[in-house]
Structure 1
Amino acid sequence: MIPTDLPDRLCGVEGVVAVALGGSRARGEHRPDSDWDLGLYYKDGLDVPALRAVAATVADDPEVVLTAPGGWGPWVDGGGWLRIGGVAVDWIYRDLDRVHRTWTDCQVGRYEVGVQAGHPLGFYSSAYVGEVALCQVLADPAGQLTRLKEQTRDYPPALADALVAGGWEAGFLLSGAAKAAVGGDSGYVAGCLFRTIGVLAQVLHARAGRWLVNEKGMIAAAGRLPGAPPHFEQRAQALLGAVGRRPAELAATVGAARELVTEVVG
């Protein structure tokens, strides 16, 4: 459980302007063992030593390791993995100015997909905005994050159009997978299938005007959306769970995947 005064204490650190609860707990989709994800939104730099000092007062292990901004890669900005009272509590940095720029891009249908550790599908820049839209604001002295959250209440039609248009990639991936299947290259086929399903999940969420912020749970979430093909979740999970090893098996898997692609993107 997060100490009730922790968000306000974090906002007392130079640079931190707001703290939000994110992830499955913010959306009410968590399991009992789910982590607590705290988004630390900052501007104009971040006093990491001061953050460490706060962390040392609440963490089970006072020797807390926190990164500098950028320490986890270009998109997942950095932070630390803490245990507080035996519970996993992740601190995750977010540069609020960068989030604002991404929101501006989303409104005109621009997004990026970047390489990022921990995101096998690639990090979709629109996730920055989705995190704000779906979060629970815990501390926001100047109201900056709250105002942005209000602005993101409605999913941008231009972003939806762009992500749906990006669905062409699913068919392209399967064309490559079909060639690899002939040679029995199950690894390449599996990689293409995962990204194919991920692209379809993006399309389904965009078409429904719903934010998708993470690969975890994306297949089940897509299957619950209006407009999803019948039994989308079960079919997608079955494809990924039994790709096959011999050329005939791989070809059959690619063929079944093509049916899903046709039903989602035509």
Structure 2
Amino acid sequence: MMPDIPQSVSELVDLLAAMPGTVAVVLGGSRALNRGDEGSDWDLGVYYRGTIDLTALSTRGTVFPPGSWGRVMNGGAWLECGGEKVDVLLRDLDVVEHWTKRAQEGEFERDALLGYLAGIPTYSLTAELDSCVALRGHVEAAPFPPKLAIAAPRVWRFCRSFSLDYARMHARRGNVAGVAGQAAAAVMEEAHAIACERGQWVCNEKHLIKATGLGDLNALFAEIPVERASLLQWVGLVADQLGVPRDEATPWKRGTL
């Protein structure tokens, strides 16, 4: 069921659709999934091919052109329309199709991005297509690739175990913040692995831990000790709850630089 779109937002959709280069305008995020509330933003994705003329959008506020937010998040604008908060997100269809093909082959990369603990996987661009609602034009959704469901969990769990190993290193030094940061990243990485095993698209990390059944780990993070020996034991508890084998091989330890 399509949510009722306020007139001010609908007018912005028309403006976005009319920009030279636009192929489609979609509604994404919680609003597209009918999970939004009165305080939810309106996420509008603008899919374009090659280049796009953002002149009209720039009259509404500050625009971050393609590439400003990295190769995955790309660019866009944070606007307010008639009291409604609207996020405009630019998506280059050539880039989307490239990473969709890579995902179909079981391949992906991770980029560092503000607000993401484990980084943003390149298949997020394909995941967005699965949940968005087209408002103008059309974009093709893709099912979760079987090859990605096999290959991605191994990658994410390598990252998870690496993060836990660094958490132990911080624990031996009594660095509580370092332990918490690396352990939190490990939880998010395991959550990604679980989602991929299930063939479940993930657009961001906001609800990832709960959705993958790892919510009980929050209680552990509420009781992080400060003494070194206890810190090390605490990391072990996190690893146990994540299902990490105690005799797990660590290939990154085979040599040193």
TM-aligned CA deviation for residue 16 of structure 1: 1.1
Greater mean alpha carbon deviation, residues 4-13 or residues 122-131:
4-13
Q: Percent identity?
A: 32
Greater mean alpha carbon deviation, residues 241-250 or residues 201-210:
241-250
- The DSSP-based 3-state class of the residue aligned with 2:56 is helix
In structure 1, what is the equivalent of residue 251 of structure 2?
A: none
Tell me whether 1:248 sits opposite 2:229 in the alignment: yes
Contact 1:171–1:261 at 8 Å: present in 2 too? Answer: no
> What is the TM-score normalised by the length of structure 1?
0.83
TM-aligned CA deviation for residue 215 of structure 1: 1.3
- The DSSP-based 3-state class of the residue aligned with 2:242 is helix
Aligned with residue 101 of structure 1, among 83, 98, 101 = 98
Q: How does 1:91-130 map to 2 (within 5 A)?
A: 91-130=88-127
TM-aligned CA deviation for residue 173 of structure 1: 2.1
Tell me whether 1:239 sits opposite 2:220 in the alignment: yes
Measure, in 2, the Cα distance between the counterparts of 1:85 and 1:264. Answer: 54
TM-aligned CA deviation for residue 119 of structure 1: 2.4
Aligned with residue 196 of structure 1, among 186, 209, 217 = 186
Amino acid at match of 2:180: A
In structure 1, what is the equivalent of residue 160 of structure 2?
A: 170
Measure, in 1, the Cα distance between the counterparts of 2:62 and 2:245. Answer: 44
Greater mean alpha carbon deviation, residues 96-105 or residues 24-33:
24-33
Q: Deviations over 1:39-91 (max 9, x none)?
A: 111112111112224x3xxxxxxxx1111111223321111111112121110
TM-aligned CA deviation for residue 190 of structure 1: 1.4
- Quickly say closer, same or farther: Cα 1:241–1:48, change in 2 above 3 A: farther
Aligned with residue 177 of structure 2, among 181, 187, 210 = 187
- The DSSP-based 3-state class of the residue aligned with 1:139 is strand
- Quickly say closer, same or farther: Cα 1:172–1:119, change in 2 above 3 A: closer
Structure 2 residue ranges without an equivalent (≥5): 1-5, 249-257
TM-aligned CA deviation for residue 5 of structure 1: 4.4
- Quickly say closer, same or farther: Cα 1:88–1:97, change in 2 above 3 A: same
TM-aligned CA deviation for residue 175 of structure 1: 2.2
Measure, in 1, the Cα distance between the counterparts of 2:203 and 2:70. Answer: 17
Q: How does 1:29-108 map to 2 (within 5 A)?
A: 29-53=35-59, 55=60, 64-108=61-105
Amino acid at match of 1:85: G
- Quickly say closer, same or farther: Cα 1:253–1:32, change in 2 above 3 A: farther
Amino acid at match of 2:41: D
Q: How does 1:8-27 map to 2 (within 5 A)?
A: 8-27=14-33
> What is the TM-score normalised by the length of structure 2?
0.86
> RMSD value over aligned CA atoms?
2.0
Structure 1 residue ranges without an equivalent (≥5): 56-63, 224-231
TM-aligned CA deviation for residue 23 of structure 1: 1.2
- The DSSP-based 3-state class of the residue aligned with 1:41 is strand
TM-aligned CA deviation for residue 260 of structure 1: 2.1
Measure, in 2, the Cα distance between the counterparts of 1:21 and 1:172. Answer: 37
TM-aligned CA deviation for residue 251 of structure 1: 2.0
Measure, in 2, the Cα distance between the counterparts of 1:241 and 1:24. Answer: 28
- The DSSP-based 3-state class of the residue aligned with 2:74 is coil
Measure, in 2, the Cα distance between the counterparts of 1:31 and 1:246. Answer: 43
TM-aligned CA deviation for residue 263 of structure 1: 6.4
- How many pairs does the alignment contain? 240
Measure, in 1, the Cα distance between the counterparts of 2:53 and 2:84. Answer: 25
Measure, in 2, the Cα distance between the counterparts of 1:137 and 1:240. Answer: 40
TM-aligned CA deviation for residue 264 of structure 1: 9.6
Aligned with residue 12 of structure 2, among 3, 6, 10 = 6
Amino acid at match of 1:242: E
TM-aligned CA deviation for residue 246 of structure 1: 1.9
Contact 2:111–2:119 at 8 Å: present in 1 too? Answer: yes
In structure 2, what is the equivalent of residue 221 of structure 1?
A: 211
